[in-house]
A and B are shown apart, each in its own frame.
Chain A
Amino acid sequence: MLATVASATLRGVEGLPVRVEVHVSNGLPSFSIVGLPDTACREARDRARAALLSSGLSWPQRKITVNLAPSGVRKVGAGLDLAVALGVLVADEQLPSTMLEGRAFVGELGLDGAVKPVPGLVPMAMAIGLDELVVPEAAVHEAALVGRHQVRGVGHIATLLDALLGRTPWPPLPPPPAIDAPAPAGDLADVRGQPSARLAAEVAAAGGHHLLLLGPPGSGKTMLAERLVGLLPELQRPQALEATIVHSAAGLPVPGQGLIVRPPLRAPHHSASAVALVGGGSGAVRPGEISLAHHGVLFLDELGEFPSHVLELLRQPLESGDVVVARASGSYRFPARFLLVAAMNPCPCGEALRPGACRCGDGARMRYVRRLSGPLLDRFDLRVIVNRPPPGLVLGGPGEETSSVVAERVRCARERALARGVTANGELRARKLDAAAPLRCDARRLLEKGLERGQLTARGVQRLRAVALTVADLAGREPPLTADDVATALALRAEPRLVEGVGA
C-alpha cells in the first residue's frame, strides 16, 4: 500500500517542501530509499525502525520503498526521519492515512523514539504551505516564527501517535527556551582618549562604511569593533527574518523570543577557510560567516594574517550584498550584506609605521604593503590609526559619551539616509551621491588640492564625499558639505604608505 507524508528539507538557506512516498508490498523484506538522499537521510531507515520498535510498534517484514519527491533535488539531513516513520506506519496500515492529511512533519528520530530538532526549521516552515506543522518540541519557537501554521511540538513518536489518533490531546506548547540575544559586549564610554577611532566607529555604524583599524596589539581594536555593533539600530522585521533564517539554516540557536533583532557580530579567526567564510561544504551546503553576519558586522581581526585568496573572495559579496556558491548539485545564493570591520597591525614592530620610529626592515614593510594594497583596501572608506591611549585617560579622565547617546545619533543619520532612498550613505553611488552631497566652495577647494597633490583618486573623492555626508548627518548639518566635514572624512582615511618615497 502507498502512503504520502509532507515534510521539508533544506537547500542552502531555503526550505524545500518534500513529499515522502512510502510503498509497502509483498516480497522479500527490504528497505530502499530513492530520490537523491544524502548519507544522513539514507540512515533514516535504521533510526525509524529502531524508534518504532522501541515505541511498541511493529516494523513490516515486507518490501519497503521510500521515494523523496521531487526526486531531482538532493535531500540533506535527518529531518525527514519522522515523515519516513509515519509513512511506513500508514503504508503498513497501522495508522489511517487521514491522520496525515493537511499536516507536515519535520524531525529527527532517536533510537528510543525521541523526536529531536534539526537545523533550518525557520526556512523549512516558510516553505510548507499546509495548515499544520508537527515539529520537535525543542524547536517549536523556530517554526512558530513564521506565524502561518498551527504548530505542534512533540517530544516522542508515541506522544505524536496518541495525539494523531485522538487518544490524548496535543501536548501544550513548551515555553520558549531561554536563549537570549547576546548582550552587547560593552559600552562605547569605555573607549577613551581615541577620538578618531570613536568617530570612525560612529560613522561606520551610521553610514555603513567599511572600517579598517590600524594599530598595535592592545590598542583596543577588538574592543571598538565589539562596541560598534551596539551602535547599529535594531533590525526591522524583514531584515530580522532574513538574519534569523540564515542562523536557523546554519543550525545556530535562534533567540527564544523569536527574531534576531540585534545586528549579529561574527568574528572568524584568521585560520578560517574560504568555505567557512563565504559558505559551501561537501554534502549540505552551509552559509558561511559572511552570511551569518548578514545585516550585522563581520569583524576580521589580524586582517594581514588571512590568506589573500580568502580575502579576495570577499570582494564580490561586498559589492552585491550576496554570494552565490556553485556546486555540482546546483548553485546556492546566500544573503551577505554586512558591515566589514577589520583590524591589523600595519607593521610587525608595533610602532604602526610612526615615521622614524618603526624598526621594521624594508622587506617586512613591503610584505605588509602588498597585503594591504589593492582592491580590498579600496573597499575600506574608513581607515584609522588606533594607538594605545595615554595612560592617564585609560584609568580615569573625562567621561566619554555612552553607546546609547551615540546610537541615537546613528539612528537619526540612518533616517536621513532613508529619505535619500538608501539604508545607509555607504550605498550612495555616482549621480545619487552628487545630488545628495553638494560641496561648499571651501570643501571643494580642499578636495581639489588633494586631487592635485595626488593624495586622492577620483574614486577616492567619491567615497570621501559619502563619508563626509555621514559626518554631516551625524552632526545634524544639512548639505552642502563644509570643509570641516571633508577634512574630518580625510582624517578618517589614512593612506597607509609604508615605504617612504624619497623623490629620487
Chain B
Amino acid sequence: MSPPLSPDDRAALLAMASIASFGPKRLQAALALGPPARTWARLVARHVPTMRRCGLDRPVPVDVDPEQIRSRHTALGVDVIVPGDPDWPAALEEDPDPPVLLLTSAPLPTGPAVAVVGTRRCTGYGRAVAARLGAELAEAGVVVVSGLAAGIDAAAQRAAYDTGTAPVVGVIGSGPDVIYPRRNERLWRDLAAGGVLVGETPAGGQPLKWRFPARNRIIAALSDIVVVVESRTAGGSMHTVDAAQERARPVMAVPGPITSPASAGTNRLLAEGCAPVCDTDDVLVALGLAAAERFRCAVQLDPADAQLLDALGWEPSTVDEVVQRSGLGLAEVSRRLAELSVRGAVRDSGGWWERVAR
C-alpha cells in the first residue's frame, strides 16, 4: 500500500469518486497512476493518455472543485477514510476489489459482524425472521450489517437498532446526503445519529443501478457471516452471496416454504450446501460465540385456534383458502383470525393473512 495520502490527494480522490462515470474499477486504475492530485490535474487538463488509462471516454466535468467537495463532506460530518488510515477496516486490507475510499458517519465498529440481507419484496414471515435475527444478534453484542433497503434489510436493522445493545452498520449505495429509499428515512436518520452509515459514494451521488451491487460487496466484506433471510433466485441478495463467497465469508440461509417465490433463492442456497439458520443460536455458534440464553413465551392456544393456524400455514392466504383448508365456517374463521391478530399471532396484510413467527 502506498504511503498515506495528503489532504490534496484525498480531495482529488473524492472529486473523482463524485463523478458518476468513475466506478470502483476506474478509481482503482486512477489510484495506480500515482498521487491522485497529479492525476486529477491531468484529467482536468484533458490529458488523453491519463484519461485512457482511467478508462474514461470523455473529459471530466469542468465544474468539479475538489476543495468544495471536501468542505461539503466536512459540513455533513462525514469522515473520508482511505486505505492506510488507522480507521480503515482491517477486513478490507486483503479485499480483491476494495473501495478506494470510504465515507463514514462514525468510526466503524470492530468485533463480530453479521450481514442480515434479503429481498425487498418479502413476506411477513421474512420480515418477522429478519427482525428477530436483528434483535437477537444485537442483544448478543453482534454488529448487524445491512443495506438499508426496503424489506428484509430494514426490518433487521430497525429491530437491531431498537435493542440499543450493539452498533448497527448501514452500507449505503447513494451519497450520504441522498436518502434512499425515502420510505426508510427515519431508519436512515437513526443510523446516521446512533449507528454507522458507510458508503463509497460521495455526497450528492444518486442511487444509480450499478451502485447497489457495488454496495453489496462492501456489505459482504465488512461481515464475518452473511445471512440471507429471503431471496428470489436472482436479485441483489444473490450479489451479496457471490461477493461473500469471493471473499471466503460463510453464507447462511433461512429456510422457507418451497412454494414461496420469496424463499426460492434461499432454499436453493440450502440445497447447494450452505448452512441453515433455524435459530439465532445457529449464527452465534457459527461466529464462535456461546448460544445466548433466551426465554420464549408461547402463545396459549385453544384447539380450534391451533387448527386454524395449521390451516393458515406459513404462507399468506386469503380467508377463503383458510375456510377451505380448515373446514370451519366463514364467520368463525373471520372471528378467530381477528382475535388472533389482536393477540399478535397472525397479521392481516391487505386481505392476506399471515402467521407471525415467534
Interface of A toward B, CB cutoff 8 Å: 193-197, 199, 214, 346, 353-359, 362, 383-385, 387, 389-390, 393, 446, 449-450, 453, 455, 471, 475, 483-488, 490-491, 494-504
Q: Given that A357-B260, A488-B331 are contacting pairs, would A500 and B349 also be in contact in the complex, using a CB cutoff of 8 Å?
A: yes
Stretch of B33-41, B123-131, B212-220, B286-294 lying at the A interface? B123-131
Interface secondary structure of B, over-half rule: helix
Q: Is the CB of B350 within 8 A of A356?
A: no
B330 — nearest CB in chain A belongs to which residue?
Answer: A195
Which listed residue, A199, A491, A494, A503, touches B350 by the CB 8 Å rule? A494
| B305 within 8 Å of A (CB atoms) | no
B354 near A: Cβ within 8 Å?
A: yes
A491 contact from B150, B263, B334, Cβ within 8 A: B334
Give complex CA distance A390, B325 in Å.
Answer: 11
The answer to whether A356 touches B158, judged by C-beta atoms less than 8 angstroms apart, is no
Chain B residues, CB < 8 A from A490? 334, 338
Q: How long is the Cα–Cα vector from A495 to B349 in the complex, in angstroms?
A: 8
The distance in angstroms between the C-alpha atoms of A387 and B324, with both chains bound, is: 13
Closest 4 CB pairs of A and B: A494-B351, A356-B123, A356-B262, A504-B187
Q: Is B183 engaged at the interface, CB distance under 8 Å to the other chain? A: yes
B115 at the interface (CB under 8 A from A): no
**A356 x B230 contact (CB < 8 A):** yes
Contact of B1 with A by CB under 8 A: no
Whether the Cβ atoms of A353 and B330 lie closer than 8 Å is no
Determine if B323 and A487 form an interchain contact, defined as CB atoms under 8 angstroms apart. no
Which residues in A have their C-beta under 8 angstroms from that of B336?
A: 487
Q: A356-B230, A500-B151, A502-B151 are in contact. Are A491 and B330 (CB under 8 A)?
A: yes
B135 → A minimal CB distance (Å): 12
* Alpha-carbon gap, A490 to B256, bound state (A): 29
Q: Once bound together, how far apart are the Cα atoms of A427 and B10, in whole Å?
A: 71
Answer yes or no: B319 CB below 8 A from chain A CBs. Answer: yes
A496's partner among B125, B187, B351 (CB-CB below 8 A) is: B351
Are the CB atoms of A497 and B183 closer together than 8 Å? no
Determine if B318 is an interface residue (Cβ-Cβ < 8 Å).
yes
A502–B155 touching, CB < 8 Å: yes
A355-B349 contact given A196-B330, A484-B331, A501-B183, CB 8 Å threshold: yes
Pair B334/A484 contact, Cβ less than 8 Å: yes
- On whether the beta carbons of B123 and A355 are closer than 8 Å, the reply is yes
Interchain CB contact under 8 A, A196 and B123: no
B352 in contact with A355 (CB, 8 Å): yes
CB pair B151–A504 under 8 Å, yes or no, is no
A392: nearest chain-B partner, CB-CB: B324
Chain B residues contacting A483 (CB-CB under 8 Å) are 335, 338-339
Q: A196-B330, A504-B154 are in contact. List 9 more A-B contacts (CB 8 A).
A: A356-B126, A487-B331, A488-B335, A491-B337, A491-B338, A495-B350, A502-B183, A504-B157, A504-B158
Neighbouring A residues of B318 by C-beta, 8 Å = 196, 385, 387
B261 and A455 contacting across the interface, CB-CB below 8 Å: no
Known interface pairs A193-B320, A484-B334. Does A502 touch B127 (Cβ–Cβ under 8 Å)? yes
- Total cross-chain contacts (CB, 8 A): 141
**Contact, CB under 8 Å: A356 / B337:** no
Bound together, the chains give a CA A442 to CA B190 distance in angstroms of 40
Please tell me if the beta carbons of B338 and A354 are within 8 angstroms of each other in the complex.
Answer: no
* CB-defined A-B contacts under 8 Å, sample of 23: A193-B320, A194-B320, A354-B352, A355-B354, A356-B260, A356-B261, A359-B261, A384-B351, A385-B318, A387-B320, A446-B338, A486-B338, A487-B338, A488-B335, A495-B350, A496-B350, A497-B350, A502-B155, A502-B158, A504-B154, A504-B157, A504-B158, A504-B188
- The verdict on A357 contacting B261 (CB below 8 Å), with A491-B337, A497-B350, A504-B184 known, is yes
Q: Does B186 contact A (CB under 8 A)?
A: yes
Cβ-based interface call for B121 (8 A): yes
A358 to B316 CA separation, bound complex (whole angstroms): 11
Smallest Cβ-Cβ distance to B329: which chain A residue? A195
The complex places the Cα of A193 from the Cα of B320 at a distance, in Å, of 8
Whether the Cβ atoms of B352 and A484 lie closer than 8 Å is no
Assess whether A498 is in contact with B158, with CB atoms less than 8 Å apart. Answer: no
Chain A CB count within 10 A is highest, among B124, B230, B334, B351, for B351
Given A197-B320, A385-B318, A449-B342, CB of A502 within 8 Å of CB of B154: yes
Residues on the A chain within 8 Å of B186, using CB: 504
How distant is the Cα of A471 from the Cα of B124 in the complex, in angstroms? 30
Closest to B347 in A: A355
- Within residues 135 to 154 of chain B, which ones have a CB less than 8 A from any CB in chain A? 150-151, 154
Residues of A within 8 A of B184 (CB): 502, 504
CB distance from B126 to the nearest CB of A (A): 7
Q: Is B246 an interface position by the 8 A CB rule? A: no
Shortest Cβ gap from A69 to chain B (Å): 61
| Interface residues as binary, B242-270 with A (CB distance below 8 Å gives 1, 0 otherwise) | 00000000000000000011110000000
Which of B121, B158, B263, B339 is within 8 Å of A446, CB to CB? B339
- B residues less than 8 Å from A353 (CB atoms): 349-352
| CA distance in complex: A119, B140 (Å) | 81
* Cα(A503)–Cα(B128), bound, Å: 12
**Chain B 280-324 residues near chain A, CB threshold 8 A:** 316, 318-321, 323-324
Q: Determine if B334 and A487 form an interchain contact, defined as CB atoms under 8 angstroms apart.
A: yes
CA distance A504 to B230 in the complex (A): 19
- The one of A196, A346, A453, A455 that contacts B323, using a Cβ cutoff of 8 Å: A196
B222 within 8 A of partner (CB): no
* A148–chain B nearest beta-carbon distance, Å: 50
Q: Which chain A positions have C-beta within 8 A of B120? A: 362
A449 cross-chain contacts in B, Cβ below 8 A:
342
Cα–Cα distance between A448 and B276 once the two chains are bound (Å): 41
Query: Given that A491-B330, A501-B183 are contacting pairs, would A195 and B323 also be in contact in the complex, using a CB cutoff of 8 Å?
Result: yes
Within 8 A of A (CB), among B81-125: 120-125
User: When chains A and B are docked, how far (Å) is the Cα of A503 from the Cα of B122?
Assistant: 14
Measured between beta carbons, the chain A residues less than 8 angstroms from B330 are 195-196, 199, 488, 491
**Bound CA span A383–B127, Å:** 26
Q: What separation, in Å, do the CA atoms of A483 and B333 have in the docked complex?
A: 11
In this complex, what residue of A is CB-closest to B123? A356
Question: Separation in Å of the B50 CB from the closest CB of chain A?
Answer: 40
CA distance A393 to B323 in the complex (A): 13
Q: Is B177 an interface residue (CB 8 A)?
A: no
Q: How many angstroms between the C-alpha atoms of A496 and B352 in the bound complex? A: 9
B332 contacts A by Cβ under 8 Å? yes
Contacts of B79 in A (CB 8 A): none
Specify which chain B residues have a CB less than 8 angstroms from the CB of A497 in the assembled complex: 349-350
| B348 beta carbon closer than 8 Å to chain A | yes
Cross-chain contact B154 with A196 (CB below 8 angstroms): no
